[in-house]
């Protein structure tokens, strides 16, 4: 039997290099496909809607893969999974066998009935800052996402070094990502996702509050939550060995008990 195939979708502001700390451990057991978000590295900008961008990402990946998304990448992975649960006749989705959501939320911005999120004002500040000074904004963002982590200073330094060595994301794509984070709300759609789902979340995540992950764990019909103590928004940095163990185990469980695609509801 061939090895499980895992697609890694990075988050806002980072390229595929975000996964570097866990790639060696994951590659020893899995076939890895690194996904560049629109406007990052070699991926061209995508002016389409959020759902269209997610569909185009899915079409580039091997059928039967597992999806692993972090932060904004997790939101895109959720959208891809909802499209699999609600297929359109004219555009049948690629079938994926499992889902891994890292630092995930179905809705990044607060709503009247959704307190487990960030304020619209935070996004407004980031939107203006990206327009004025994108590189400096990304450095500040790295410090923000590591706030509260038991190793915050070390992670911030290592990520800022990695950021300086990678191609700068397209500024328009950074703005587009912030727009997605401000407007996308998948709460009503995710309950149709029946594929096996693993949520990995830091218990000190300052961007995606832990209650959002708990909500997802309860709302998704076939999900479990693994909470990483002492970790902020990037648990694969805080506990890379534990992170890799969880991911590899989930991938192999999904291969042993393959998930049949849903027919839509």
Question: Annotated catalytic, 5?
Answer: no
In the annotation, is 205 catalytic?
Answer: yes
CATH C-level class of 5-256: alpha beta
Structure-token pair, residue 158: 């290592």
Task: Return the sign of the alpha-carbon dihedral for residues 12, 14, 17, 21.
Answer: negative
Tens of pLDDT, residues 30-60: 999 999 999 998 788 887 899 999 999 999 9
Nearest by Cα to 71 from 43, 115, 102: 102
User: Catalytic one among 97, 205, 217, 250?
Assistant: 205
| Residue 259: pLDDT band with limits 50, 70, 90 | low
Q: What is the mean pLDDT of the chain?
A: 91
Considering the candidates 116, 155, 201, 233, report the single residue annotated as catalytic.
233
Residue of 5, 10, 65, 71 marked active site: 71
Q: What is the DSSP string of 190-202?
A: GGG--S-EEEEEE
Partners of 67 in the β-ladder: 7, 99
Q: Which residues of 246-260 are buried (b: 16+ CB within 10 A; e: fewer)?
A: bbbebbeebbeeebe
List pLDDT tens digits, range 67-82: 999 999 999 999 999 9
Chain-centroid distance, C-alpha 9: 6
User: For residues 142 and 70, what is the distance between their CA atoms, to the nearest angstrom?
Assistant: 14
């Amino acid at each position: 039997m061939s090895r499980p195939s895992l697609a890694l979708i990075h988050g806002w502001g980072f390229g595929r290099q975000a996964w570097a700390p866990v790639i060696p451990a994951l590659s020893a057991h899995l076939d890895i496909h690194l996904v560049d978000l629109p406007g990052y590295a070699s991926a061209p900008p995508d002016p389409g809607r959020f759902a269209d961008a997610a569909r185009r990402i899915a079409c580039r990946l091997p059928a039967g893969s597992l999806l692993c998304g972090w932060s904004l990448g997790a939101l895109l992975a959720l959208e891809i999974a909802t499209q699999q649960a609600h297929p359109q006749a004219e555009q049948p989705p690629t079938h994926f066998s499992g889902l891994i959501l890292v630092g995930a939320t179905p809705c990044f911005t607060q709503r009247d009935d959704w307190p487990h999120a960030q304020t619209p004002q935070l996004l407004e500040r980031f939107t203006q800052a990206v327009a004025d000074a994108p590189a400096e904004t990304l450095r500040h963002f790295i410090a923000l996402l590591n706030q509260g982590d038991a190793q915050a200073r070390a992670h911030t330094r290592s990520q800022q070094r990695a950021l300086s060595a990678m191609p700068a994301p397209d500024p328009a794509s950074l703005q587009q990502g912030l727009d997605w984070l401000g407007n996308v709300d998948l709460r009503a759609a995710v309950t149709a996702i029946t594929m096996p789902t693993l949520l990995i979340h830091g218990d000190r995540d300052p961007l995606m509050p832990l209650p959002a992950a708990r909500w997802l764990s309860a709302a998704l019909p076939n999900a479990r939550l693994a909470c990483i103590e002492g970790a902020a928004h990037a648990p694969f940095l805080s506990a890379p060995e534990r992170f890799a163990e969880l991911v590899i185990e989930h991938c192999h469980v999904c291969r042993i008990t393959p998930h049949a695609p849903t027919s839509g509801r």
